[in-house]
Amino acid sequence: MTLGKARPRPARALLALTIGLALCAGTATAQSAPSDNATINLVRLLVKRGVLTQADADGLIAQADAEAAQARKQEGTANAAPAKPGEVRVTYVPEVVRNQIKDELRQEVVAQAKEEHWAEPGKLPEWLDRIQWTGDMRFRDEFHYFDKGNLPAINFAQLNRTGPYDISGNNVNLPPLLNTNENRTNSLRIRARLGVNVDLGDTVTAGIRIGTGDDNNPVSTTQTLGGGLVKKNVWLDQAWLAWKPTDWAEVIGGRMPNPFMSTDLLYANELNFDGLAGKFTVPVNDSLGTFATVGMFPIEYQADDFPSNIPTKQASRDKWMTGAQVGGSWKFDDDIVWKLALAYYRFDHMQGKLSSPCSIYLGQTICDTDATRSAYMQKGNTVFLLRDIVPDPNNPTNYAQPQFVGLVYDYHVANATTQLDMKVADTPLRLEGDYVRNMAYHSRDVYSPEHLGRVANNFDAGDAADAPYKSGPVGWMFRATLGDVNPHAAGDWNVMLAYKYLQPDATLDGLADPDFHLGGTNAKGFILGGSYGITKYAWLSARYFNAREVFGPPLSIDVFQLEMNARF
């Protein structure tokens, strides 16, 4: 046993040593022998190994010698006086009994030493047994191909991040634009995530995970290589506490993995949720189980002092998502399992609001509804110009009009998700279906007074003022995966075929898959992919996304990805 420094003495071990010393003292008394025996040697060995200090060892030996002397004195008194009725005196302990007591004490001390890891060479402390490390890595080569018939498109997400953008004739600069024509090939990217899950008792667990990422967007932890060979960013990807008071109920708070059964039609695979969720799983019988999930998740808080340069502060418009899902799982036999879930997700205060008259020409730089623009967008949702800018009376036909954009619609999303796992010729086959509909979508909203003449996208041909406006609230997906969905051994494989259809305002574009059509909504097309396991912990993957717009100007984008993945 190798010890770097003295460890605290376990109480039970000290008790065992004390009893051992007492036995030795008793033996010495009975046999009139010195106390320098095996037990004393054990004490000296424990001092040498750092389990006891020299002062504690000297104290125990002195105590044993004193008790031995007292025992000899009492023995003489006892021999002189007769025993009282009911009193039993033992002046000699047989060797077999002493050996039995020593064996029992030795077993008890060794068992405690193993449990507490203070007497096993190379053994880690007990608290490390409650920690589970997880992680994964991915190296990707990615290719983007744009159809030459695509028309230019404004990057409204960047406009909101870096704007406002002056839409007046005075501005000779174009607004931020998406790349719609120039191919991008051999973009090398990585993803690295490292997490730890901690057992905090019978019912409480915690998890923390860090991950890479080009920025703090919520839908991807992919990091692009290059950039002058600079070091890469690391973000806090998850941080949660979970309490499971019963086998069928769990409460999770913090930044957590997606607690709902869903597909990447609605939420990106890497999307995590900030907030509080409750998960309930109630089995009915051996073949039927039910589950439910409820949660509330803050999307964005409005600053207490917004707007900072106007005495009258804006009423709170904190943005929240609340969700509820119920579902069931049916096991028809060992090879056939069917799951079905129905959910409703309500996003509050996501809709943009037209500002009060805003006097930019007088130097006003913040309008009172600027905070109603989305904190994170991709592309697809219908947007409108947020600011009601007052014309400059000195130049009523040519004045600055710096604008942000906000969402035209609310989003109250109904979702039905199903998954069927089965086998075909002993090969796993998974069939998935997903349907979403924005129940808050009303086409007449785009013609309301605050939106009329201010809508900025989703016209049939370009952004011409007389082009017909087109949008919709529906999305659906079908996917089939043949083979092992998640390869866990060398030689495991799968092939996948899917079709997605997602109208512009079926759901929030900021939370959707960032790979299909390079993110957002207003997209339809096929996905083809496959994976092959090369070891138990590593596999190769390839995916091809063929997507184009549902409504509006032509925007066809093909994405091809080659990957090597690993988990540990």
- Residue 389 in this model has a pLDDT that exceeds 70: yes
Q: For residues 40 and 62, what is the distance between their CA atoms, to the nearest angstrom? A: 11
Distances 62 to 15, 20, 73, 485 between C-alpha atoms, Å:
16, 14, 17, 70
- Residue 81 in this model has a pLDDT that exceeds 70: no
SS3 category, 188: strand
Closest C-alpha among 206, 140, 147 to residue 179: 147
Burial of residue 386, with CB atoms counted within 10 A of its CB: 0-12 exposed, 13-18 middle, 19 or more buried: buried
Closest C-alpha among 299, 344, 297, 305 to residue 318: 299
Closest C-alpha among 371, 395, 241, 244 to residue 300: 371
Read off the DSSP letter of residue 389: B
> What's the pLDDT score for residue 15?
47
Query: Residue type for 324, please?
Result: A
- Residue 75 in this model has a pLDDT that exceeds 90: no
Tokens matching residue 76:
């003489």
Q: For residues 404 and 302, what is the distance between their CA atoms, to the nearest angstrom? A: 17
Determine the average pLDDT of the residues in 532-553. 97
Q: For residues 423 and 257, what is the distance between their CA atoms, to the nearest angstrom? A: 29
Read off the DSSP letter of residue 407: E
Ranges 29-33, 85-89, 330-334: which has the least confidence: 29-33
Q: For residues 199 and 197, what is the distance between their CA atoms, to the nearest angstrom? A: 7
Question: Please, are residues 135 and 567 in contact by the beta-carbon 8 Å criterion?
Answer: yes
Q: For residues 31 and 37, what is the distance between their CA atoms, to the nearest angstrom? A: 13
Strands (E), 147-211: 165-166, 184-199, 204-211
Closest C-alpha among 250, 230, 229, 232 to residue 240: 250
Read off the DSSP letter of residue 358: B
Query: Residue type for 407, please?
Result: L
Percentage of residues of the chain with pLDDT beyond 90: 67
Q: pLDDT for 243-262, tens place per residue? A: 999 999 999 999 999 999 99
> What's the pLDDT score for residue 16?
52
User: For the packed helices 38-49 and 11-31, what is the interaxial angle rounded to 10 degrees?
Assistant: 150
Predicted TM-score (pTM) of the model is 0.79
SS3 category, 280: strand
Question: Please, are residues 539 and 532 in contact by the beta-carbon 8 Å criterion?
Answer: yes
- Residue 323 in this model has a pLDDT that exceeds 90: yes
Burial of residue 265, with CB atoms counted within 10 A of its CB: 0-12 exposed, 13-18 middle, 19 or more buried: buried
Q: For residues 422 and 362, what is the distance between their CA atoms, to the nearest angstrom? A: 68
Question: Please, are residues 240 and 253 in contact by the beta-carbon 8 Å criterion?
Answer: yes
Q: pLDDT for 429-480, tens place per residue? A: 999 999 999 999 998 888 898 998 899 999 987 555 567 899 999 999 999 9
Q: Residue 169: how many CA atoms within 13 Å on its side-chain side?
A: 4
Report residue 213's pLDDT band, with 50, 70 and 90 as the boundaries: very high
Closest C-alpha among 565, 566, 567 to residue 141: 565
> What's the pLDDT score for residue 314?
73
Greater confidence (107 vs 459) lies with 459
Closest C-alpha among 397, 309, 389 to residue 357: 389
Determine the average pLDDT of the residues in 540-555. 97
Burial of residue 138, with CB atoms counted within 10 A of its CB: 0-12 exposed, 13-18 middle, 19 or more buried: buried
> What's the pLDDT score for residue 462?
56
Tokens matching residue 532:
């092959």
CA angle 549/556/500 to nearest 5° reads 55
Tokens matching residue 20:
């051992």
**Dihedral sign, CA of 178, 179, 180, 186?**
negative
Closest C-alpha among 367, 344, 345 to residue 357: 367
Query: Residue type for 35, please?
Result: S
